[in-house]
């Protein structure tokens, strides 16, 4: 059974009588330990897809399931628990709390996991160490550069040790060196058995991931899986599942 | 793919340690929610302070109101006790009622035989004290001064116990004084004040034992003086004035006599005033010197009152029936007497306290209600300012209940802080009221009032937070995240 499964997922928005298809009939399976990149032009629906994969948003049509459990049937409490424990989300716009400092921001998911303050502090420091931000603990997000904020967001996504890591443009604001470190971190996480999905505009980064999904206008237009001996599938509609 | 860098080794240690499964986890802890709430209040100090104002006013007015009512209640009950308490029954002589006018010639008034009959026939009567009042406010004269008083009574010595009189200086008359109808009397400090001067004026207290005073022209020797009767309130004020005066004298400055606060005679103070202006003489002296010598003198001593102290207030009604029956038999059915108890007074006090509490609570309640609306308003403003924050919290795993709790805790914390400030403010409110509108009775702040007011404030905080908390908890994650 796939870890995450999307079947015929569409997301429609009504804007002044006009219907926008942000996602159009997407079917997808993601397994444990996979390292996947999603590429596509701006406005193609990447972020929308990530929100649905991260249980933040629900599709207009189609079903999403985690380990066979359909989220349409999950209570809001179960969803909160999944977001807290199973998913680590790095937002394109970081979404840090401006009133909290770096450590407090990283501690946030652990508060809702019910961890005590000592454990929280310890783990937050470790996670920040990991993204090389151990020296800016007391800063507010507004006092950090874009790349630093991004790394705080990454630390926050990892701190509850989720099984699925969703990163929306995680290296967009980073220099080449730091970007590579973060990529190495993600690769390592995938190697440890976590499912890592990242959105990128950068073909070089996409080339690193074993599996690559390209979307355009809300549809999957290209689907490459290096593990299938470079098999190229220009029409994924016929073969929705890569493995 | 092993790129060994400090970061990746840190990843491994993190990954091994970040596992949540074996960590003891509970719900979101409340302490954290309270801390967030306090921070939020602190971040908007001015706004929070304005919001709290309603609660502060509500709590302090609730406490102040209850304090004033309590003060009055205490003052009234003091006065009630000073007048003999609830166990005292006064049996007063009165003229024959209209429907019995034809029997007027058979009426012989209240006499000592009535007292004896009651003593014998009512086991519940602890003390039966006959009383003969000198009518028409007799003139007292001594020390070159004149004074007319209302309470000049011929009594048995045991009367003192019924009316809660205590002889502080000298002595009360004895049987020999009574038998020989000696011209001796015991006076209250009010009489001394009028004829010999107040201690405040004379410097040292005059104790006129052995001095002569005339009553309606007849010379009497003062053999005793009662203690000063006063409410707790007046006592404090008097001592404070004395201390201030002593301080002025000690500093050697010329004494400044400001306008003195008049002797309060309203409300409970009247009971003390009249008690201090009492003159006691032996019943026989009263009879021999003032009643029997009159031209229309009755054949036997006529009493004005019989005061009865009962063993038990609970059996008041049964005792009253018994006394009435005895009196009717003795008076051949003529009702030339009436009862007076302090029960009505006691009931009046209770009723007043109830009413004052009710109306005061209503006002304080309205104030708390308005305060609650203010809190709700500010919480609604606060959550719409924090829509993104709520979205972020939910995105990292906050449940609806966590958000609900956080908002509810914040509104409750505002109310609790407001309540605490209100508790402190109530002291000043009470002082301010006492200063603006001085009454005979100082307000008394009770722990109960403080507890009730604080509990109400907390309740208002919870109620005011419910709707905003519900609204915040129901927000959609993505919509909240996208909000700007
Ligand atoms: N709340 C919304 N209401 C209306 N349209 C929306 C909404 N959210 C997204 N869209 C539309 O859906 C489409 C996909 O948006 P999405 O954010 O997924 O793009 P993206 O691929 O992440 O782009 P970018 O690379 O610029 O981040 C866009 O056309 C966008 O305008
Ligand atoms: Mg996007």
DSSP per-residue string spanning A61-90: EEEEEETTEEGGG--HHHHHHHHHHTEEEE
pLDDT of residue B254: 52
Q: Is the pTM of this model over 0.80?
A: no
Q: Is ligand 1 within 6 A of the CB of residue A62?
A: no
Tell me which long-range contacts A38-43 makes (C-beta under 8 A, separation of at least 24): A38/A197, A38/A198, A38/A199, A38/A200, A38/A212, A38/A213, A38/A214, A38/A215, A39/A199, A39/A200, A39/A201, A39/A203, A39/A206, A39/A212, A39/A213, A39/A214, A39/A215, A40/A214, A40/A215, A40/A216, A41/A216, A42/A201
Residue B1 pLDDT: 42
Nearest CA in chain A to B403: A112
Predicted-complex ipTM score? 0.91
The partner residue sitting opposite B20, judged by closest CB among A85, A131, A189, is: A85
- Strands B218-226, B184-187: pairing is parallel
pLDDT tens digit string along B86-106?
778 888 888 777 777 777 777
Instruction: Tell me the pLDDT band of B265, cut-offs 50, 70 and 90.
Output: very low
Three-state DSSP class for residue B21: coil
What number is the average pLDDT over the span B4-10?
49
From CA A194, how far away is CA A196, in angstroms rounded? Answer: 6
Nearest Cα residue to A188 out of A178, A176, A180: A180
pLDDT greater at residue B184 or residue B436? B184
**In the beta sheet, which residues pair with residue B203?**
none
Please compute the mean of the pLDDT values over residues B459-480 and round it to a whole number.
93
**Can you give the pLDDT at residue B2?**
42
Is the CB of B7 less than 8 angstroms away from the CB of A112? no
Q: Is the confidence at residue B210, as pLDDT, over 60?
A: yes
Predicted pLDDT at A240: 45
Q: Is A111 exposed, middle or buried (0-12, 13-18, 19+ CB in 10 A)?
A: buried
Mean pLDDT of B19-43: 67
**DSSP at A173:** T
Q: Parse chain B into domains and list their residue ranges.
A: 6-77+349-482, 125-310
Ligand number nearest to the C-alpha of A46 = 1
- Using the beta-carbon criterion (under 8 Å), do B19 and A112 form an inter-chain contact? no
In this prediction, residue B150 carries a pLDDT of 81
Query: What residues are paired with A19 via a beta bridge?
Result: A14
CB-CB contact of A213 with A55 (8 Å)? no
Within B314-399, residue ranges assigned H as helices are: 316-330, 343-385, 387-395
A24, A37, A41, A43, best to mutate for ligand 1 pocket (most atoms within 8 Å of CB): A43
Residue B475 to residue A87: CA distance in whole angstroms? 20
pLDDT band at B268; cut points 50, 70, 90: low
Per-residue model confidence as pLDDT tens digits over B107-157 = 778 888 888 888 888 888 888 888 888 888 888 888 888 888 888 888 888
Are B210 and B222 in contact by the 8 Å Cβ rule? The answer is yes
CB distance B5–A131 less than 8 Å? no
Segments of chain A with pLDDT less than 50:
229-243
**With an 8 Å Cβ cutoff, is B250 touching chain A?**
no
**What token pair was written down for A8?**
């015929």
> pLDDT grade, residue B473 (50/70/90)?
very high
State percent of chain B over pLDDT 70.
89
Ligand 2 centroid, distance to A35 Cα (angstroms): 19
Got the DSSP string for B238-284? HHHHHHHHHHHHHTTPPP---PPPP---STHHHHHHHHHTEEEEEHH
Decide if B395 and A130 are in contact by the 8 Å CB cutoff. Answer: no
Question: B77 phi and psi, to 5 degrees?
Answer: -70, -35
pLDDT in tens, B230-243: 877 777 777 888 78
Picking from B386, B405, B378, B394, the residue whose alpha carbon sits closest to that of residue B31 is B405
> Cα–chain-centroid distance for residue B199?
28
Q: Which one-letter DSSP state was computed for residue B163?
A: T
List the single residue in A95, A115, A189 with the smallest CB-CB distance to B23.
A115
Instruction: Tell me if chain A has a CB within 8 Å of the CB of B103.
Output: no
Average pLDDT over residues B246-275: 60
Of the listed ligands, the closest to the CA of A51 is 1
Q: What are phi and psi of B300, to 5 degrees?
A: -130, 160
Give the HSE-up count for residue B287: Cα atoms under 13 Å, Cβ half-sphere. 20
DSSP of B428-458: HHHHHHHHHS--SS-----HHHHHHHHHHHH
Residue B266: pLDDT band with limits 50, 70, 90? very low
């Amino acid at each position: 059974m796939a870890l995450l499964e999307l079947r015929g997922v569409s997301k429609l928005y009504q804007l002044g009588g006009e219907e926008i298809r942000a996602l159009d009939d997407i079917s997808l399976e993601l397994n444990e330990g996979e390292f996947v990149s999603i590429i596509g032009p701006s406005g193609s629906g990447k972020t929308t897809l990530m929100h649905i994969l991260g249980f933040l948003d629900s599709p207009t049509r189609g079903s999403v399931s985690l380990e066979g459990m359909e989220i349409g049937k999950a209570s809001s409490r179960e969803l909160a628990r999944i977001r807290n424990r199973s998913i680590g989300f790095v937002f394109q716009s970081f979404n840090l709390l401006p009133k909290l400092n770096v450590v407090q921001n990283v501690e946030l998911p652990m508060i809702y996991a019910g961890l005590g303050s000592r454990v929280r502090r310890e783990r937050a420091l470790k996670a920040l160490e990991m993204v090389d931000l151990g020296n800016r603990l007391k800063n507010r997000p507004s006092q950090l550069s874009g790349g630093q904020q991004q790394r705080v967001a990454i630390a926050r996504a990892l701190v509850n040790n989720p099984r699925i890591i969703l990163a929306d443009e995680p290296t967009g604001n980073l220099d080449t060196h730091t970007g590579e470190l973060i990529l190495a971190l993600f690769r390592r996480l995938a190697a440890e058995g976590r499912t890592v999905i990242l959105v990128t505009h950068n073909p070089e980064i996409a080339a690193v991931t074993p599996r690559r999904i390209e979307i355009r206008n809300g549809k999957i237009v290209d689907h490459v899986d290096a593990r299938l001996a470079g098999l190229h599938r220009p029409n994924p509609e016929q073969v929705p599942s890569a493995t | 793919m092993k790129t060994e860098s400090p970061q990746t080794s840190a990843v491994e240690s993190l990954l091994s340690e970040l596992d949540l499964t074996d960590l003891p986890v509970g719900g979101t802890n409340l302490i954290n929610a309270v801390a967030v709430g306090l921070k939020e209040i602190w971040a908007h100090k001015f706004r929070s302070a304005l919001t709290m104002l309603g609660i502060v006013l509500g709590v302090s007015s609730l406490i102040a109101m209850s304090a004033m009512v309590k003060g009055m209640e205490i003052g009234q009950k003091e006065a009630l006790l000073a007048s003999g308490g609830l166990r005292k029954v006064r049996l007063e002589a009165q003229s024959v009622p209209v429907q019995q006018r034809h029997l007027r010639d058979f009426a012989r008034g209240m006499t000592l035989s009535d007292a004896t009959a009651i003593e014998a026939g009512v086991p519940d009567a602890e003390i039966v004290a006959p009383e003969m009042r000198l009518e028409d406010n007799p003139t007292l004269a001594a020390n070159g001064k004149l004074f007319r008083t209302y309470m000049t009574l011929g009594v048995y010595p045991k009367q003192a116990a019924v009316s809660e009189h205590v002889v502080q200086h000298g002595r009360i008359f004895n049987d020999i004084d009574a038998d020989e109808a000696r011209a001796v009397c015991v006076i209250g400090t009010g009489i001394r004040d009028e004829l010999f001067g107040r201690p405040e004026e004379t410097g040292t207290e005059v104790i006129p034992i052995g001095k002569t005073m005339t009553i309606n022209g007849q010379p009497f020797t003062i053999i005793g003086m009662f203690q000063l009767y006063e409410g707790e309130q007046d006592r404090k004020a008097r001592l404070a004035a004395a201390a201030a005066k002593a301080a002025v004298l000690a500093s050697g400055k010329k004494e400044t006599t400001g306008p003195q606060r008049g002797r309060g005679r309203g409300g409970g103070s009247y009971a003390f005033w009249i008690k201090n202006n009492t003159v006691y003489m032996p019943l026989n002296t009263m009879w021999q010197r003032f009643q029997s010598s009159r031209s229309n003198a009755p054949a036997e001593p006529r009493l004005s009152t019989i005061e009865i102290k009962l063993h038990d207030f609970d059996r008041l009604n049964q005792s009253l029936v018994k006394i009435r029956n005895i009196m009717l038999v003795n008076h051949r059915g003529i009702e030339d007497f009436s009862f007076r108890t302090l029960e009505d007074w006691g009931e009046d006090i209770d009723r007043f306290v109830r009413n004052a509490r009710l109306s005061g609570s209503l006002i304080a309640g309205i104030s708390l209600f308005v305060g609650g609306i203010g809190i709700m308003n500010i919480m609604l403003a606060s959550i719409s300012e924090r829509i993104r924050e709520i979205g972020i919290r939910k995105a990292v795993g906050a449940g609806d209940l966590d958000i609900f709790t956080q908002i509810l805790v914040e509104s409750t914390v505002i109310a609790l802080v407001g309540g605490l400030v209100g508790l402190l403010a109530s002291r000043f409110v009470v002082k301010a009221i006492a200063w603006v509108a001085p009454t005979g009775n100082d307000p008394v702040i009770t722990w109960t009032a403080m507890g009730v007011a604080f509990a109400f404030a907390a309740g208002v905080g919870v109620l005011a937070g419910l709707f905003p908390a519900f609204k915040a908890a129901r927000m959609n994650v993505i919509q909240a995240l996208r909000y700007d």
